[in-house]
Every structure is written in structure tokens, then in C-alpha cells.
Amino acid sequence: MVKFAHIADCHLGAFSRDQVLKEYNLEAFEKAIEISKNRDVDFIIIAGDLFHNPHPDMEIVDRAVKKLMDARKNGINIYSVYGSHDYKISQASLLDVLASADVFKKVVTYLEKDNVLEFEEDSSGVSITGLSGRKNRADISYFDELDFPEPKGESIFVFHSPIAELKPADIHEDRSLPLSLLPDNFSYYAGGHIHERIEHHDEKAIYYPGPTFGANYTDLERDQRGFYIVEDFEPEYISFDEPQFIKERINADGLKTDELRDEMDRLYEEDMEGDILLLKISGTLSEGVPSDIDFSEVRRRFRDKGFKTVFLNRRELEGKEIERIKVKEEKEEDVETRLLEDSSGESELSVNFQEELLSVLKSGQKDGETSTDYENRIWNGAWELIKRRDEYENGKDRLKEGENGDDQELETQEKVKKGKDGQISLTDFGGNQR
């Protein structure tokens, strides 16, 4: 009888600014590995997002590797796919290093081997394969294009993607995978990416354990955190009840800053006991701005009440005087586009042009490129684009027709300071138009 652990979304290294939360997060992961070891599993599956980013702090890596190696030394194999957080298309991820060092095995081999997905055969007799998560829709095209091998005997498919039919409402439909694209005939589908526990046992046995701890405020507000011990393909959810969360909300709508302070005083007088206070303050103040309130003092007071840490969420708190920028899209590009669109009235540059310029300016240094070459490439790219600015402002059609826009150059150049060595200063260009 085969027994394995199914862990996902550990996000080690998250909460980098709160040592208490960061430590709880690490401990949850360590606990999951420890329980797996004590329950004598044959192997452990990590369905992506082991780390919160592709290059985590070495101190975090050291803790994680110690724990993983402890399991390995006890004869437990570990299998993983990349998540959307610990993967970077342009650079080696830490996961590559750990796989090379045989801390765990990547169960994704298709990139190296002509789009053929291969099985890892565990010594327990179970065949394991899977696909990594990607930003955006890239993972969906893999599912669409690949030929999946037919599993023989007991088999596990590991993946890190939302499934359209099972996903929570806040994940975009067009970024999720239709159930029909999952390959058939696996004994168990080990999911990651969705930060909620989801169980779907129809013709396919699809399970998402959700995070071992969580990676943001919304995650921490959920009541469940843990992982699965799967025995004979029947999952048992191991729930972590520690640490204890207290969740409070204050609605500051229509309050003056003094009245909000009174509300917080009232809350402070209440009986509360727990390890972590999650305090969300939202709404629009009728007078004053949030920065009138000393929130670090608020945190300190609640910590004095016995909480190990206080996670204050005031992203939705605003004063009437300040228009706050709300960010809800998950894709960096979407956020940028929206911010540019929101401020389009303040700039004489079109959103389209600003996006193009931004994409040139944020291009990274390439392998083997010297710093001088890199700087020149960025400057030249930006300059070429600036020369063609009017084509963007007047619509894209002219660009497609291949006009080079030289006749626009003089007018544009007036707005650009030329520095030494023919370099361009962008400070007067678009930066101070508001």
C-alpha cells in the first residue's frame, strides 16, 4: 500500500518584513515534512511554490534544505514541479540547483526531451509526472500541445494551475485550465497554485491542499492550512491549528481620524487571545487622512496585549483628500496598464506609448552583455522610441505601414535633454507632466 504526502504553496520566504509570520510560515513547512516522516510516507510531492520567489534568502534556503535532506536521509523521495512564484523563464531558479543536488526530483522533463512527458518511477512502484506552473497562460498551451503518456498502474499527475471548473471566483477564467485538458487515467492529480483546499473526486481524483501557511493577508484570513497524507490514494487532510488567529475588522467609513482612534481603543479594550491579530481597517474617512494615525503605535499596543504579531491591513482605508491607487490584478503588466490608464489625464503621453517606453526601460541585462553595452542598448532603444513618439500618439497604423517618423524628430527632441556622450535624460520627458 502506497503512502505519500501532498504539499503545495509553502511560499517559504514570504512575509519578509514580519519576522514572526515569516517564522510561522517556515515552521508550518517543517512541520509538514516532520509529520510526513513520522507517518512513514514513501515519498513527498510538492506541487509548486515551495519558495516565495526564484531567488530566496540563503537563510530560508538553508532551513528548507536541512528539512528536505532530513526526509531524504530517511529514505523518502521528494518530487516537485515549479510554481508560478519560484520559477523564472530567463534564469535558473533555486529549484534547478536543488534538483541538480538531488535534494528532490523535478518531475517535468518535457522541455529537455522534445515535448515528451516522461515518468519518474518511484521505488514504491508509483509513476509520477507533471507540469509546472507558469505566469499567464503559458501553462495552458503546454497542456494543449503535449502528448501525455498513458499511465500504467498507479500514477500521479502533479500540476500547478487553476482548473476552470474548480477555481475560486477571483481567479480569471481565461487564466485557468479546462478540466478536459488534464490527461486521463491517473490515479491521483496533485494540484497546487490555488490557495484554498479543493477536493474534486469525480472521474478524476483532483486535490488541492492549499497552502501550509499562506503568503498574504487574504490567505491568513482563511481558516484552513495544512496538507494531505494520501494512503492508498485516499487523502487525509492534516490541518494545522497553530498558530491561533484573531480576525478583526474596523469600518472607518464616514469617521474622522479621532473617531477611528476611538474605535481602535474600543477594540483594544476587548478580550482577545491569540498568536496573530489580523486587523483590517477599511473605508473612507470623512476628515483627515490615514497618515494622521500612527499605525506602528497601534501595532505596538496590540502586541502588548499578548499577540506575537499584528498584521494591519489598511489598503482599503482612505481619506477624502487622497485618491488611492487600488491594485487588484495579479499580473504585473495589468497593474501597469491600469495605473497608466488611471493617470492618463495627467500626462500628454498616450498609454500605449508609455507602455512601450516602460517595456524598453525595464529590459534586463543579458548574459554576456557588459554594463556599458547594456546602458547603451537601453538608451538607444528609448531614444528610437521617443523619436517615433508621434506615431504612437496618432495611432498605430502608421507604424505598421513602416514610416520611420524622422519628420517628427525635431519636435520630440525639444522635450529631451541630451546629456554628455550623447546620452539622453528622460527627466523632462513625461516624468513631470502632472
Interface with Mn ion by CB under 5 A: which range of 9-17, 30-38, 151-159, 419-427?
9-17
Q: Which residues contact 172 (CB under 8 A, 6 or more apart)?
A: 330
From CA 214, how far away is CA 44, in angstroms rounded?
Answer: 19
Query: Which set of grid coordinates corresponds to residue 100?
Result: 541538480
From CA 400, how far away is CA 162, in angstroms rounded?
Answer: 37
Q: Return the number of other C-beta atoms located less than 10 Å from residue 183's C-beta.
A: 21
CB of 9 to Mn ion, least distance (A): 4
**Residues 5/229, Cβ–Cβ less than 8 Å:** yes
**Residues 412/386, Cβ–Cβ less than 8 Å:** yes
Give 9 or 120: the residue with its C-beta nearer to Mn ion: 9
Interface with Mn ion by CB under 5 A: which range of 6-14, 132-140, 148-156, 335-343?
6-14
Query: Under the criterion CB under 5 A, does residue 120 sit at the interface with Mn ion?
Result: no
Interface with Mn ion by CB under 5 A: which range of 4-12, 123-131, 343-351, 375-383?
4-12
**Residues 103/66, Cβ–Cβ less than 8 Å:** no
DSSP state, residue 364: P
**Coil, strand, or helix at residue 205?**
strand
Catalytic residue among 6, 11, 52, 85: 85
Give 193 or 388: the residue with its C-beta nearer to Mn ion: 193
Query: Under the criterion CB under 5 A, does residue 49 sit at the interface with Mn ion?
Result: yes
Give 83 or 319: the residue with its C-beta nearer to Mn ion: 83
Interface with Mn ion by CB under 5 A: which range of 3-11, 130-138, 165-173, 367-375?
3-11
Residue in this structure with the C-alpha cell 482577545, named with its chain if needed: 272
CB of 373 to Mn ion, least distance (A): 37
**Residues 351/340, Cβ–Cβ less than 8 Å:** yes
Give 209 or 243: the residue with its C-beta nearer to Mn ion: 209
| Interface pattern 197-236 for Mn ion (x via CB under 5 A) | ----------------------------------------
Among 9, 30, 219, 391, binds Mn ion (CB under 5 A): 9
Q: How many residues bind Mn ion (CB under 5 A)?
A: 2
From CA 52, how far away is CA 87, in angstroms rounded?
Answer: 10
CB of 195 to Mn ion, least distance (A): 6
- Range 291-330 burial, b when 16+ CB lie within 10 A, else e: eebebeebbeebeeeebbbbbbbbeebbbeeeeeeeeeee
Give 53 or 127: the residue with its C-beta nearer to Mn ion: 53
CB of 146 to Mn ion, least distance (A): 23
- Does the annotation mark 172 as catalytic? no
CB of 391 to Mn ion, least distance (A): 41
CB of 70 to Mn ion, least distance (A): 24
Cis peptide bond prior to 211, omega within 30° of 0: no
**Coil, strand, or helix at residue 293?**
coil
Beta-bridge partner residues of 51: 12
Give 86 or 318: the residue with its C-beta nearer to Mn ion: 86
Interface with Mn ion by CB under 5 A: which range of 44-52, 56-64, 295-303, 424-432?
44-52
CB of 111 to Mn ion, least distance (A): 21
Give 216 or 282: the residue with its C-beta nearer to Mn ion: 216
Query: Under the criterion CB under 5 A, does residue 122 sit at the interface with Mn ion?
Result: no
From CA 319, how far away is CA 256, in angstroms rounded?
Answer: 9
Which residues are at the interface with Mn ion (CB under 5 A)? 9, 49
The residues that are catalytic are 85
